[in-house]
Amino acid sequence: MIGAIAKTARGERPLGVTYWLWYIVPGIPIVIIDAVSIALSEEYPEIIYWNAFAFWAAFILLLTAKAFLVYLIGYGVILSARKRKPTGFWGWIAIIIVVINMIRLPVSYYTSLMTAFEPPDPSDAQSVRVYQEQMLRQARAQTSLPKQIDSVTTLEGFTFDGLTFVYQYALDEEFGDRLDIERLKTHRLPELCKTFASMQTDGVLERVRYEYSLHGETVSMTIDQSDCDGK
């Protein structure tokens, strides 16, 4: 098999065989897989974050297959076409197609990567959903729930409300009858602003809300950039 590939890459086969059997036919399943993966990522963009290792493994495998086809076999097509005397109309057409694909491959993958990891557009629901999934995955990876914060406070979960990240706490009955949420916010503001800043890596998150459940009632406080300016 290696010998056959080497022979093709050296342009030692007829142009028709090299182009159609070694360049076009193997490219059909690659194009189909590529199209399906693009369609899935557009319909369910959060799959990128469900299993990052699987995503990158598949991405690298597909890129390797395309690079092998476009560059190694493509080079064989060019050599095979140039060995024709004269090269002829179809020989030049094959060369032009191969060269265009050689240029398109890195450009298309670079564009795809830049698009995939650019900050989400708050006005685009799909983009926001991807952002939410990424943030929640990071939070789950860093925190085992429920998490006992202190003797009376338990972190029970976190979620998203639009571009607001929400922490959900439960307070033990031993805490008392009520929570002075404004006093708590004032007391913890420097610490909360550090947390907010650490989550604002891309400048998209609008605010963080802390919800506390006590005696069946929920009170909350919200931290945004206006709270933290100058802190």
Question: Looking at the predicted structure, is the pLDDT value of residue 153 above 80?
Answer: yes
How sure is the predictor about 120, in pLDDT bands with cuts at 50, 70 and 90? low
Residue 209: what pLDDT? 95
Residue 119: what pLDDT? 63
Q: How far apart are CA 198 and CA 21, in angstroms?
A: 54
Q: In what order do the strands lie in the sheet with 147-148?
A: 147-148, 153-161, 164-171, 207-214, 217-224
Q: How far apart are CA 226 and CA 228, in angstroms?
A: 5
Closest CA to 30 of 101, 94, 131: 101
Percentage of the chain lying above the pLDDT 90 cut:
33
Greater pLDDT, 136 or 20: 20
Question: Looking at the predicted structure, is the pLDDT value of residue 166 above 90?
Answer: yes
Averaged pLDDT of the chain: 84
Question: Looking at the predicted structure, is the pLDDT value of residue 116 above 80?
Answer: no
Would you state the structure tokens that stand for residue 223, as one six-digit string? 């931290």
Residue 73: what pLDDT? 92
Question: Looking at the predicted structure, is the pLDDT value of residue 80 above 90?
Answer: yes
Lowest mean pLDDT across 25-39, 44-58, 148-162? 44-58
pTM metric for this prediction: 0.52
Residue 130: what pLDDT? 72
